[in-house]
Amino acid sequence: MDFNPCMKHKLVRKTVRKFAEAELGPIAYDIDCEARFPWEVIEKMRPLNFFGLQVPRKYGGAEVDSISYAIIIEEISRVSAAVGLCVTVHNSVGTYPIVLFGTEEQKERLLPPLASGERIGAFCLTEANAGSDAGGVETSAVKDDDRYVINGTKIFVTNGGVCGSALIFAITDPENPRRAASVLIVEKDTPGFSVGEIEDLCGMRANPVSSLFLEDCRVSESNLLGRPGDGLKIGLAALDTGRIGIAAQALGIAQAAFEASVKYSKERQQFKKPISSFQTIQNYLADMATEIDAARLLLYRACALKDDKKPFSAEAAMAKLYCSKVASSVSNMAVQIHGGYGYSKEYDVERYFRDAKVTEIYEGTSEVQRMVISRAVLTQLT
């Protein structure tokens, strides 16, 4: 195994870092404070194919390998985790399921506007009584001739306030609701589809997370993704890929917190010397560097398995579990290193600290990741 990044990956990191620092760096603080989605930067990202990262070139996408994808998400999230969240959710769970399960007609119709960023995608599984329990979906989709009539409410939808299309998980067989969830592609201008108020969240404040309401929302049968009842299969495949993206996002937060801590520890003076000269601070930095490197290796292993078309569910869960844990622990240490300043919005580590926590919750809580991992372990050793 070669642990050295190839020239292509070095170039990807350098290019995306330069863009993120130039375009997102100056506004990252403001968009967090204002809870504002930065359309002006999104417009600049569109021609660079940030919204078609995993879409085949024939449909207008970039079709990058998974390690390149992880690097791109990490570098955007290193500057603005909320924008990194938009990009990864759009690419992984908002668009990639159409690549995997869509008909040729669906791909030709839906992928080009998604790949170009003309439409931003959303993934709508979570409801009041269905989150970790993916089989508890209560939204219904009743067949009426050649259309489905959808009724239900989705909550905590990432990109919800700006999405142009949404993958809606709904029950199509009320006689067997635990096994009959299906996925329907709903476009924003469809009558009966509406967006709720933007959530006032602790972190990721520049991403417009909202509820989505479907009231007698009628969509064509041609917008059914896969077959009726394929919801669980599609959801699990989407989340495997999505967890790679969230792991990369968490890694970006951790990297940013670490870099800020190194810089601050060299500048901050106590007892007439920089605090980086103190053993306690050095221990913090050593732990942070080690945890980040270990997280990155777990992430890249999952990416390599995916690109080799080998099973990677457990490895993606390990990467997501560990990277999100590292984001929280590293950002917590960063606040401690900064002392009182770390608790002030004047310093970015306060934002990293808030942003990190939710990486342990969405796209499957850490408890769910452990369930996925333990099942794989028990199966392998049986």
* Alpha carbons 143 and 149: distance in angstroms, whole number: 6
DSSP string, 200-229: --SS-TTS--EEEEEEEEEEEGGGEESSTT
* Alpha carbons 191 and 193: distance in angstroms, whole number: 6
Same domain, 223 and 314: no
Same domain, 293 and 353: yes
Of the residues 187, 207, 227, the one at which a domain ends:
227
Of the residues 115, 135, 162, the one at which a domain ends:
115
The predicted pLDDT at position 4 comes to 66
Same domain, 111 and 133: no
What is the total count of domains within the chain? 3
The predicted pLDDT at position 177 comes to 56
- Which run of H or of E encompasses 182? strand 181-187
Dihedral sign of CA atoms 225, 231, 232, 235 in order: positive
Catalytic annotation present for 259: no
Is residue 102 within 8 Å of residue 130, measured between CB atoms? no
In a domain, 1, yes or no: no
The predicted pLDDT at position 132 comes to 76
pTM to 2 decimals?
0.95
User: Within a 10 A sphere around the Cβ of 360, how many other Cβ atoms?
Assistant: 20
Same domain, 209 and 103: no
Q: CB pairs under 8 A, 24+ apart, for 140-145?
A: 140/170, 140/171, 140/172, 140/174, 141/168, 141/170, 141/171, 141/172, 141/182, 141/184, 142/172, 143/172, 143/221, 144/218
Question: Phi and psi dihedrals of 211, rounded to 5?
Answer: -90, 155
Same domain, 366 and 292: yes
The predicted pLDDT at position 180 comes to 76
Instruction: Give CA angle at 54 (52, 59), nearest 5°.
Output: 60
Same domain, 204 and 257: no
Tokens describing residue 108: 């030709």
* CATH number of 344's domain: 1.20.140.10
- Which of the following is catalytic: 40, 346, 363, 367? 363
Q: Whose CA is closest to 220, among 141, 129, 102?
A: 141
User: 328-377 pLDDT, tens per residue?
Assistant: 999 999 999 999 999 999 999 999 999 999 999 999 999 999 999 999 99
* CATH number of 109's domain: 1.10.540.10
Same domain, 259 and 337: yes
User: 99-123 pLDDT, tens per residue?
Assistant: 999 999 999 999 999 999 999 999 9
Tokens describing residue 224: 């059914």
> Where do we find the tokens 């500048």?
267
In a domain, 34, yes or no: yes
In a domain, 280, yes or no: yes
| Structural domain boundaries, residue 70 | 7-115
Give the 3-state secondary structure of residue 198: strand
Query: Within the chain, which residues score under 70 in pLDDT?
Result: 1-5, 177-179, 382
* Alpha carbons 317 and 321: distance in angstroms, whole number: 6
